[in-house]
Amino acid sequence: MSTQLEKAIDGCDILSIRVDSCQLFTTLSKELQEVSSKNLHLLAYLHKKLSEGMELPKYIVQLSRDMRSLDNYNFLYPIGDPVFIHLYSNPSGGRAIYNVIQPTIPHETSLLMDMVEEALAYVIDEQHDFENTEEQKKMLLELLHSVVEIDDSLSKIGEYKLLKGKGSFDRIAVNEETMKILEYVLINEKIGMGILEPVIKDPYLEDISCSGIGPLFVEHKVFRSCETNIVFTKDEYLDRFVIKLAERIGRPVTLRRPIVDATLPDGSRINIVYSRDVSRNGSNFSIRKFSEIPISITQLIKWGTLDATMAAYLWIMLSEGMSVWVAGETASGKTTTLKAITAFIEPNAKIVSIEDTPEVSVPHENWIREITRESDEAQASINIFDLLKAALRQRPNYIIVGEIRGKEGNIAFQAMQTGHPVMATFHAGSVEKLIQRLTGSPIEVPKTYIDNLNVALIQAAVRIPQTGKVERRVLSVNEIVGYEPTENKFEFIELFSWDPATDKFIFRGDGNSYLLEDKVALMRGLDTRDIGKIYEELKIRTEIFKKLTEMGIFDYWEVWRSIKAISKMGLERALALLKTGHKV
């Protein structure tokens, strides 16, 4: 046990912990004792919660979606030393409570950080240059240690002494624990996202939102909507933070240009609205986070977003070069599903992706990733329409459009008309609304072109009757047959549908699939007597996904490697191997 911890437990006021904190430490689990011995701020937080009458949280290294069924919970989990998250159900009902536990300078010694920054300003000059984030971090820590030294005679966190230095500034003396906090705060403020850094790093978060003065809210992947202990108390504090945040991402906000859409360094999408001139509640911002590692198709099967037969069908469609669009309302999980099914495109295919913000992830090596560019000068701006036209000259096997909203939809249909399959996401809650928007203004796709879109997958966030929880489900998978001009109607086949009563998927395509029988079979040179082979193949692919899911193969890259290996060795051989319990 460290000397600092011994002092804390013995009643030293380094963390303002009373003598009974010794009893606290002995009541902690072995894992929690280990992490709190290295993170005194965590021990102090636990002591405070106990003194408020709260039970000790259960320490968990990794959360599971199975926890969503819990009504009462009290968990502590790490997101990388020295930051921890305490998440627990609200005793008065409503949103869960999400507390960030991180090293902080006590309010009564808040001037310490200002003095450190002033001292750093004296020693930093143009010679202190860096080429990447790691070099910047190393340089900042070296400069910090050049102006701050450790003096263990100081017992309290935040306590300091000013020492006359050799130069024109005073050196500062602090204890070892305070030095650790200064290091953390400095890196957070100068390199990270400041008070947002912990929530940006939390892999379990989907959305982060500040609606004005008051607490920050987050959307948790397991426990849904949560209220955090990160709070903005005054307009000037929030305005100052929003201005700094916008400058950090290279898209400054002003009263003249108060709204900004941009991308954070980790790929997350951010929207900022500045000042009360355009927002009655004051400045606000929303961040939509994206996982570095996409969700795999087997993970979606396990979660019940779709089933193995649906995945097998999409595998055939995409491996045969069909155009598949994922449609749904906001936050229905469209992009997650799109990223998962890109693994079904032939491994050697050339893919061009086009997006406003980089969300799509493709496992293929031959992948060209293109992003729009905004500029105050109209001639310097590059939009999706421009990139889509350019993609047609690059001879891709697949074009993926992150989201189609406007006239680029017409170009996408022209691309499909000329033999370039397109994958895309689209805002529409049904096939009828999808077609209505495509054929209406501003997209205006000719009605006779609609059948160039082969598959429309409709997805939504729904409340499951059995559990009362909100989950994402593929409501239907539809084959677009075409437009009947004499009756002025569009024909499509609802091949799969979701049954809300049972939370199961109904497959109506056995012997009834237009694409399998009239497109895929024709491309493979099969006559009507051999149509049954297509449905047999669908069953084999379904069994493969069931086996992969049973074996717990959920990692995106492992699933991708499995799909490549299966494509190489053949479906029947792969299934036989999986049935023996061996990976392909």
pLDDT tens, position by position, 302-312: 999 999 999 99
Q: What is the pLDDT of residue 22?
A: 55
Tell me which long-range contacts 24-31 makes (C-beta under 8 A, separation of at least 24): 24/50, 27/56, 28/56, 29/59, 31/59, 31/61
Q: What is the pLDDT of residue 478?
A: 98
220-259: string of b/e by CB count within 10 Å (b at 16+)?
Answer: bebbeebbbebebeeeeebbebbbebbebeebebeeeebe
Q: What is the pLDDT of residue 155?
A: 80
Which of the residues in the chain have pLDDT under 50? 1-21
For 278-336, write each residue's pLDDT tens digit: 888 899 999 998 777 899 999 999 999 999 999 999 999 999 999 999 999 988 999 99
pTM of full prediction above 0.85: no
Q: What is the pLDDT of residue 299?
A: 96
Q: What is the pLDDT of residue 169?
A: 57
Q: What is the pLDDT of residue 33?
A: 87
Residues whose CB falls within 8 Å of the CB of residue 447, separated by 6 or more in sequence, listed in order: 439, 483, 485, 490
User: Does CATH number 3.10.129.10 belong to domain 297-518?
Assistant: no
Rounded distance between C-alpha atoms, residue 210 and residue 98, angstroms: 14
Tokens of 303: 């979660």
Angle at 161 between CA 83 and CA 185, to 5 degrees: 20
Q: Which of 441, 467, 342 is nearest to 66 (CA)?
A: 467
Q: How far is CA 371 from CA 221, 288, 317, 339, 387, in A?
A: 27, 17, 27, 17, 8
| Span 210-284 CATH architecture | 2-Layer Sandwich (3.30)
Domain segments of the chain as ranges: 1-88, 107-192, 210-284, 297-518
Q: Tokens 């990270």 sit at which residue? A: 192
Q: What is the pLDDT of residue 105?
A: 81
